[in-house]
Amino acid sequence: MTVSRDDVLGLGMMVLAAAYWAAADRIPVSLLSDNVGADGAPKMLAVALATCSALLVVATRLRTAPAAGDEDGSPSDRRRGHLRAIGLLAGLGAYALLLPVLGYPLALALLIGGTAVYGGARPTLSLVAISIVGGVGFWLFFSKFLGVLLPLGWWMPGG
Amino acid sequence: MDVLSSAVSALIGGWTLPAALAGVVWGILGGALPGLSPSVAMALLLPLTYGMDPTAALTMLAAVYVGAEYGGSIPAILIRTPGTNAAAATTIDGYELAKQGRAGEALGISLMAGFVGGLFGLILLTIATEPMAAVALAFTPPAYCALGILGLSVIASLSGKSLIKGLIAGILGLMIATVGTDPVSGVTRFTGGSPDLLGGVRPILVMVGLFAVTEMLTQISTPAWDKASHRDTRLKLPNFAMWKRLWPSQVIGCIIGTFEGLTPGGGGSIAAFLSYNEARRWSKKPEEFGKGSVEGVAAPECANNVVTATALIPMLSFGIPGSNSAAVLLGGFLLHGLIPGPMLFQKAPEVVYGLYGGLFAANILMVLVGIVILGPCLWLVNRPKPYLIAFILAIVVSGVYATHASLTDLWIVLAMGAFGYAMRWFGIPTLPMVLGAVLGFLVESSYRRSLVLSRGDHAIFIQDPVSLGLLLAALALTAYSVWAEFIKPARKLKNA
């Protein structure tokens, strides 16, 4: 018996439904609570999710044709593609971590330059200039024009 | 005649016209920035209106609302990132058209459909405020709950190839909406102790993550992504033949937008999704929906912009702000010593009629500003992809962080992006999840308030005539969608 993508999804959603129910069960009961309670809707949703997930698994088992999915390219291409996506996501995560440390203008310039290079742009001086202009330009717009308080980083005056 | 002369005199004298222009420009910019909602764009301008003439000040705020609701559609079409909640429905076919090299056409349709909707709403606002305001008062908690359920009933038709997966996505969205403070008891739920989550997960964060970040992850993961074809760089306004094709979808957008604008809390999102669904149902080419239908852009955009005017009806008549944007506008009235309500039309008619004139100007200016800025926008999205992705992500992370200066918001968007990428891999449609996240709080809070009022008796939902009507409409909509999606094709297959 082969395990299809929909099987994995269905089982994963059942686990999520169980975890969500367990989390809903830990919601404290308030004296101000109504008949439904703060945990009422979440528990109802957990049951609905588990039911739909079970239906999905059953439907997948009954279906003879493979489920439609994004099947472009060879398996190795797809694997490479997923790794590229994970890499970009890691870059965005690094930006979120570095933002309070390096400050907004520098972190954003690094994000712009890094993402462009990761996407295939050549690391030239003009790219460095575009990244710096981008970082400083966005900072001026949000900070000076919109009046948003953005972190400057330890290295900048006032940071 | 009083209305007309007051509106015209407000426009030709004083600062109303420049204020409308400034408001529209700012609104389009604010609406186009993912994360920055129309209400935030308005709130940022509120302090500036302090020393202004009341008519000019209120016109500027209302013009921001008009501009922002339109501006949200620009990134929705060009980069699959709705700038506002209400623009989420526009991404479905707008982005598909852009992918086919028809971005200029989609932007032109969205601009003109928005203009038609805005003018239609304004006419209603001017001539029918008094009788239509009564609709707002007919809305009780059961009716709100039924309205939310009516919105959720669209899930069936947004599910694509698998209804079960659509339902799973809808439930996931509803689960996201349960995060935060419980609407009745005030107990915190699923916040993990984070104070940033006490107010819940804002739907716009879910949308930006699911649409923008997911799209960028998908773009970069596609093997031949950098060889993708370039698109048109010219704005194309609809010609006569196109208008002829679009008018039914615009009528649908106008009707649904009117109704949703009048119901406080209804808002542009429900109007946009319902209009999209109805436009598909009544279209002569329903098969094009989801694959790049021009009607799929016109209907939600028209509905969005009708709402910008009709949402002012309950606000002006009773002082009921039906949305965050209307609440900011209400703040603008109060800032100038004006109290919205029945007496406003007696005490300060020149301000109200001047506002009507300003809104009329704002709608025309929206078209002019749109024509000027859309060309450069099209040029920008045709830059080399590595740079485009880098700058789109820069706009996304900046817009998201800037709204509340919150890193939690940023992490939510990244998590949603990753989740959206996984959803695509599993073939789960994202729109039902967005709908669930948008409507979850409305449905749960009004459902529970209704039961508090009825002491737990569910009959309240069928005893309230508005609620009953909406529930029947939701039932009919779901039944039709299931029939159209499953039974009709199965019968066709059997007969073939």
Q: Is B444 on the interface with A (CB under 8 A)?
A: yes
pLDDT tens profile B174-230: 999 999 999 888 899 999 888 889 989 988 889 889 988 998 898 888 755 544 444
Distance between CA atoms of residues B267 and B310, nearest Å: 10
pLDDT tens profile B443-491: 999 999 999 999 889 999 999 998 999 899 889 888 877 777 677 777 7
CB burial string B48-66: b at 16+ within 10 A, e below: ebeebbbbbbbbbbbbbbb
Q: Show the DSSP H helices in B263-348 as ranges.
A: 267-282, 294-310, 312-318, 324-335, 344-347
Dihedral of the alpha carbons of B213, B214, B220, B222, in degrees to the nearest 10: -170
The alpha carbon of residue A116 is apart from the nearest alpha carbon of chain B, in Å, by: 5
Q: Give the CA radius of gyration of chain A.
A: 24
pLDDT tens profile B315-330: 888 777 767 788 888 8
**Average predicted confidence (pLDDT) for chain B:** 85
pLDDT tens profile B273-309: 889 988 988 888 888 888 889 999 999 999 988 988 8
Q: Supply the DSSP string of B150-196, one letter for each residue.
A: HHHTTHHHHSTT-HHHHHHHHHHHHHHHTSEE-TTT--EES-TT-GG
Residue B230: what pLDDT? 47
**pLDDT higher for A73 or B337?**
B337
Residue B472: what pLDDT? 93
Q: Does residue A4 sit in helix, strand or coil?
A: coil
- With a cut of 70, say whether residue B35 has pLDDT above it: no
Contact B295/B245 with Cβ under 8 angstroms? Answer: yes
- Which of chain A's residues have a Cβ under 8 Å away from the Cβ of B172? 49
Window from B2-6, B200-204, B269-273, B364-368 with minimum mean pLDDT: B2-6
Segment B1-22 mean pLDDT: 76
User: Closest chain A residue to B167 measured between Cα atoms?
Assistant: A52
Taken in order A52, A55, A61, A64, the sign of the CA dihedral is negative
Distance between CA atoms of residues B271 and B254, nearest Å: 9
Residue A38 and residue B387: Cβ atoms within 8 Å?
no
- Which of chain B's residues have a Cβ under 8 Å away from the Cβ of A82? 221, 425
Residue B224: what pLDDT? 55
Residue B249: what pLDDT? 93
- Which of chain A's residues have a Cβ under 8 Å away from the Cβ of B30? none
- With a cut of 90, say whether residue A88 has pLDDT above it: yes
**Single pTM value for the model:** 0.80
Residue B303: what pLDDT? 92
Here the tokens at position B449 are 């308030």
- Which of chain A's residues have a Cβ under 8 Å away from the Cβ of B457? none
Share of chain A above pLDDT 90, in %: 59
Residue A38 and residue B184: Cβ atoms within 8 Å?
yes
β-partners of residue B180 are B189
Residue B360, Cβ density class (10 Å: 0-12 exposed, 13-18 middle, ≥19 buried):
buried
| Band (A53; pLDDT cuts 50, 70, 90) | very high
Distance between CA atoms of residues A103 and A155, nearest Å: 8
Residue B155: what pLDDT? 82
pLDDT tens profile B231-282: 566 788 899 899 999 999 999 999 998 888 877 665 678 888 889 988 988 8
